[in-house]
Structure 1
Amino acid sequence: MKFNPYLNFPGTAEDAFNFYKSVFGGDFLMVQRFKNMPDADKLPPGVAQMIMHISLPLNNDTILMGSDAPAQMGFKVIAGNNNYISVSPDSREQADMLFNGLSAGGQVEMPIADTFWGAYFGSFTDKFGTKWMINFQQS
């Protein structure tokens, strides 16, 4: 199981990650824009070019990940809600166990389910206010 920091930005993810890349070096593993998701034609104006997901390896064990959380889609990024702990479990069963256990008494943002990007994913805020993402990448 791996743990990685996940950062949200109010439309500045690309600038932030280009800055981080200039400091840490390396190459992005993935850059996905909102325009690449299903039903992208229904996105609010100004969102299509924003970053849906970006990842930059920091070392062999840690990947810095992030995305834009557009106000046009109802998000409000403020200090304290722009950080997640992203957990990459070893199996769907472990993903379910972690999601169900950690989200108990908290608030689910996205129920754990298969996604269009090929992962089994869910996100929530636990009962102590910590934000989590469970992301089992299926092979």
Structure 2
Amino acid sequence: MATVNVYLTFNGNCKEAFDFYKSVFGGEYPYIGTFGEMPPQDGKEMSQEDQDKIMHVSLPISKETILMGSDTGGEWASSLKIGNNISVSINTDSKEEADKLFNGLSEGGKVTMPMEDTFWGAYFGMFTDKFDINWMVNYDDPAKMQQHP
């Protein structure tokens, strides 16, 4: 069974926004990380400004719902517009379910990141469907997640 959450994308003010949401909803961040904490990507240098931006943050707001977000930077920043900065994030119980939902929902759309194993231990992909809705599909393999706290 899959769970669905909202994923918000910001242009440099993700931390400020999430601190505000946290002040309203309460709770704690189970994870907050910056782009500077990521392993180097293809030998590309990242500006200090981009290194300080939020790569991922999550804030549980109920037993069933997690508000998630990140900043955008580099080549992705130019495509961010208010209105396309919200994605539907699906977390699945299996790799097979992740592939089924990704392949089905992305049919006729544009894949922006194919399903693949990530450095943070998840099997993850992103796309925009044929109705211009942004989606993220994620499967947290318990065996791999134990290696990446």
Q: Give the TM-score category using the shorter length.
A: over 0.9
**Unaligned ranges ≥5, structure 1:** none
The code of the aligned residue for 1:74 comes to W
- Give the distance between the partners of 1:135 and 1:111, measured in 2 at CA: 11
- 1:42 offset after TM fit, Å? 1.8
- Which residue of structure 2 lines up, in the alignment, with residue 7 of structure 1? 8
The farther-off stretch of 76-85 and 59-68 is 76-85
- Which residue of structure 2 lines up, in the alignment, with residue 83 of structure 1? 86
- Which residue of structure 2 lines up, in the alignment, with residue 50 of structure 1? 53
- Give the distance between the partners of 1:51 and 1:58, measured in 2 at CA: 19
The code of the aligned residue for 1:56 comes to L
TM-score by length of 2: 0.89
The code of the aligned residue for 1:15 comes to E
Q: CA RMSD in A?
A: 1.2
- 1:38 offset after TM fit, Å? 1.1
The code of the aligned residue for 1:13 comes to C
TM-score by length of 1: 0.95
The code of the aligned residue for 1:20 comes to Y
Structure 1 residue ranges, 4+ long, deviating more than 6 angstroms after superposition: none
- Give the distance between the partners of 2:55 and 2:48, measured in 1 at CA: 15
For 1:63-74, list aligned pairs within 5 A.
Answer: 63-70=66-73, 72-74=74-76
- Which residue of structure 1 lines up, in the alignment, with residue 24 of structure 2? 23
- 1:29 offset after TM fit, Å? 1.2
The farther-off stretch of 39-48 and 98-107 is 39-48
Deviations along 1:75-124, one digit per CA (max 9) or x if unpaired, are 23212210000000110000000000101110011111000000000000
- 1:137 offset after TM fit, Å? 0.9
**Unaligned ranges ≥5, structure 2:** 143-149
Asked if the contact 1:88/1:135 (under 8 Å) is kept, the reply is yes
Deviations along 1:19-38, one digit per CA (max 9) or x if unpaired, are 00000000001101101111
- Give the distance between the partners of 1:118 and 1:74, measured in 2 at CA: 23
- Give the distance between the partners of 1:52 and 1:138, measured in 2 at CA: 20
The farther-off stretch of 50-59 and 29-38 is 29-38
* Partner of residue 104 from structure 2, selected from 87, 101, 104: 101
